[in-house]
Structure 1
């Protein structure tokens, strides 16, 4: 069982690393775009209207991608004062129940996100004129990654008998 748990942890961390790299790259571009927008509005004589729309999409992308980072590292929001005082079997049961609820939530978002993307391809963005389906792709993508990380984290918690689930630490 330990080898399986180690493999699950390795897969989860690999996925976490790539999502983190993508998030950092998107955040870096976001900072540059916002600064370019500020410079073009107040300092330079340029009229760059695309920066506002691009910054909005990039902010949404980085925020939604970052959800899986918190799931993988078990750093999502929670009040652990009472949770940590519960007996271990009850903590495990509650942790699995919370993971299942979150999985269902993200699965529903994934399903409806696909519909949203499909409808988005019949609409155009205001400034770029590109189909809105492209920026909307993050909805099913981020929710799928969240479902994968929830599954890997729950299995990892079940197989690692000596660790505490949902402890808020990596």
Structure 2
């Protein structure tokens, strides 16, 4: 796949275009929230081990931190990866299609994905309303904090898919550029 053409400012496939700037912002937001989640879990568990072996005490609440943050870490990683177009895909099949058909496949898959992700996020709200009042036994924190990761994550995936549709609809951007993986250096 070719790199994004750096000479076309304002176009959807250009790093300075609004759709790619928004994808970049989504990538960084979810990446850093995932990093903070991971570091918080690590720091909490490290503290628990230290306290257990140094003062021979047990910090029971530390066992609940991963229950709250691991779903956020997972969803953040999924959205950040999707924003870079580095999710799992079957590129070998798509690359063998004629160029116009590649654009159609990209449009169709991203549109279907946006609809599916939005529906999952919507139904996630139902899960929160049903099971969100469950409390963790030690801290008393509502499990809805963990369930919100599904809603936020799938809403983020729906937005990324819609941005991919906007990029694929722009005829000024080549098919290869619209399907290109945008590594860390491009975002």
Fold in common (TM above 0.5): yes
Runs of 4+ with deviation above 6 angstroms: none
- The answer to whether structure 1 residue 119 and structure 2 residue 119 are counterparts is no
**Which deviations, in whole Å up to 9, do the C-alpha atoms of 1:74-122 show, x marking residues without a partner?**
1000121222121111111111222122212211211111111122343
Please say if residues 26 and 62 of structure 1, whose CA atoms lie closer than 8 Å, have aligned partners that are also in contact. yes
Residues 46/93 of structure 1: CA separation in 2 closer, same or farther (3 Å cut): same
Q: 1:168 to 1:13 in 2, by over 3 A?
A: closer
Ranges in structure 1 where 5+ consecutive residues have no aligned partner? none
- Residues 114 and 140 in structure 1, CA contact (< 8 A), matched pair in contact too: yes
Question: Is the alpha carbon distance of 1:51 and 1:2 closer, same or farther for their aligned partners in structure 2, counting shifts above 3 Å?
Answer: same
**Gapped regions of structure 2 (runs ≥ 5):** 1-7
- Normalising to structure 1: TM-score of the pair? 0.86
Aligned 8 A contact 2:114 2:161 in 1? yes
- How much has 1:63 moved relative to structure 2? 0.6
Contact 1:80–1:167 (Cα < 8 Å) also in 2: no
Structure 1 pair 145–42 and aligned structure 2 pair: CA distance change class (3 A): same
Count of aligned pairs between the two proteins: 170
Kindly provide the CA deviation profile for residues 59-83 of structure 1, in whole angstroms up to 9, marking residues without a partner as x: 1111112221122111000121222
Offset at residue 33 of structure 1 (A): 2.0
Residue of structure 2 aligned with 1:80, choices 70, 76, 91: 91
CA RMSD across the alignment: 2.3
Residue of structure 1 in register with 2:143 after alignment: 132
The aligned counterpart of 2:174 is 162
**Per the alignment, in what secondary structure is the counterpart of residue 74 of structure 1?**
coil
TM-score between both structures, scaled by the size of structure 2: 0.79
Q: CA deviation at 1:126?
A: 2.4
Q: Does 1:34 align with 2:35?
A: no
Separation (CA, whole Å) in 2 of partners of 1:116 and 1:51: 25
* Corresponding position of 1:97: 108
